[in-house]
Amino acid sequence: MEARWLTVGPVQENTWIARQDGSESCLLIDPGDEPQTLLNALEELNTTPAAILITHCHFDHVGAVKAMAEATKAPVYCPEGEVFILENINDFVRFPGFGPFESYTPEHTVKDGDTLTLAGFTIDVIGTPGHSPDHVTYSIPQEKAIFSGDVLFQGSIGRTDLPGCDHDTLMRSIQKLLDTLPDDTGVLPGHMDPTTLGQERRSNPFLRELV
């Protein structure tokens, strides 16, 4: 798999472009901002999204969804419990100075246990709530990689001080990832640099209670 991340917007969110090596079809994960930057990257790679995947609907992860969906004609896959957020995004921007953003109604919804076949990948949808009410993680087992949104970071975890967040729920979600996926699984997160589950199991101070 070839995976590129572009850090966009004032919150420095990672939007991911993932494809089979050299493929003209790709996945676009969490287009959060700067649609022209994302379109330029797709053009540079000579690839077109087969789908836009959303891990959760905080504004920094979906701010460019409408623009990218309209520009690429790619269908949007959204966690079913957060569709109402995407459809009314400006009602859920909790901080002054951000937005306005464009709402969007997704073509598809996803939930824990779903399996998707897109852009040559078989993708398992894993429910990982806690940072948001219906957050999901997209796992590609044959690549030993997960697009983890804001569940787990290098040396940190997703914040749980926002409406709809819950620390205990987040920790159970992280425990599920650690229990069901191998340590060499690459974690491709929504902020900061990539890591692996094993590295975080060994060194992430926030996971000591789980270990």
Question: Any idea what the CATH number is for the domain that residue 133 is in?
Answer: 3.60.15.10
Q: Say whether pLDDT at 67 is over 90.
A: yes
Mean pLDDT for the stretch of residues 191-195: 98
Mean pLDDT for the stretch of residues 15-42: 98
**Per-residue confidence (pLDDT) for residue 211, from 0 to 100:** 62
For residue 95, name the pLDDT band (cuts at 50, 70, 90).
confident
Strand ranges inside the chain, DSSP E: 2-8, 13-19, 25-29, 48-53, 76-79, 108-110, 115-118, 121-127, 136-140, 145-149, 152-153, 156-157, 186-189, 195-196
Structure tokens at 128: 């990982």
**Per-residue confidence (pLDDT) for residue 41, from 0 to 100:** 98
Mean pLDDT for the stretch of residues 3-29: 97
Domain that holds residue 191: 2-207
Q: Tell me the pLDDT tens digit for each residue of 109-119.
A: 999 999 999 99
How many structural domains are present in the chain? Answer: 1
Q: Say whether pLDDT at 96 is over 90.
A: no
Phi, psi of 159 (to 5 degrees): -70, 150
Q: Return the residue matching tokens 């609907």.
A: 57
Amino acid at position 44, single letter? E
pLDDT > 90: what percent of the chain? 94
Q: Say whether pLDDT at 179 is over 90.
A: yes
Specify the pTM.
0.97
Q: Tell me the pLDDT tens digit for each residue of 142-164.
A: 999 999 999 999 999 999 998 89
Mean pLDDT of the chain: 97
Q: Say whether pLDDT at 166 is over 80.
A: yes
